[in-house]
Amino acid sequence: MKFEQVCQSALAYFQQHPVFKILLPISMPVMLVCVVLSLLQNLISLGGFVSALVFLGFFLMLFLTVAQCNFRMAAVGLAGFALDYLLAFLVSLIRYHSLSYGALVYLVVYGGLAFLSYRKSMTFN
């Protein structure tokens, strides 16, 4: 089964539920808002609840975006999260003179997923 067929099956599943049916058209803008809030959190503290809400909201909207087979916007969102962890890694390196291995691992994972999603968008179109 190809990945596009999995996405189409997920889209059919999400369109059956009333909550996801409402969230499907606004999934991309909400995902980008979550990325911006995540980047903003590097400058000012938004609190633990908002941080958790942004993290969970991002992944829910990412799943809805991928279900619509919009891999380019998924790549943009994942690249935004990779940028967030790049900033966290650089801040820990410059300000605290220590390596943040957790941020480095997240940077590699989100950067790799963003690259794979972008590559998928090039072959899908």
CB 66 within 8 A of CB 76: no
Work out the pLDDT band at 64, boundaries 50, 70, 90: very high
CB 54 within 8 A of CB 34: yes
Work out the pLDDT band at 110, boundaries 50, 70, 90: very high
pLDDT digits (tens, 9 = 90+) for 71-96: 999 999 999 999 999 999 999 999 98
| Token pair recorded at residue 26 | 């606004």
Tell me the average pLDDT across 58-71. 96
Burial 82-115 (b: 16+ CB within 10 A, else e): bbbbbbbbeebeeeeeeebeebbebbeebbebbe
pLDDT of residue 1: 53
Distance of CA 80 to the CA centre of its chain: 7
pTM: 0.92
pLDDT digits (tens, 9 = 90+) for 26-62: 999 999 999 999 999 988 999 999 999 999 999 999 9
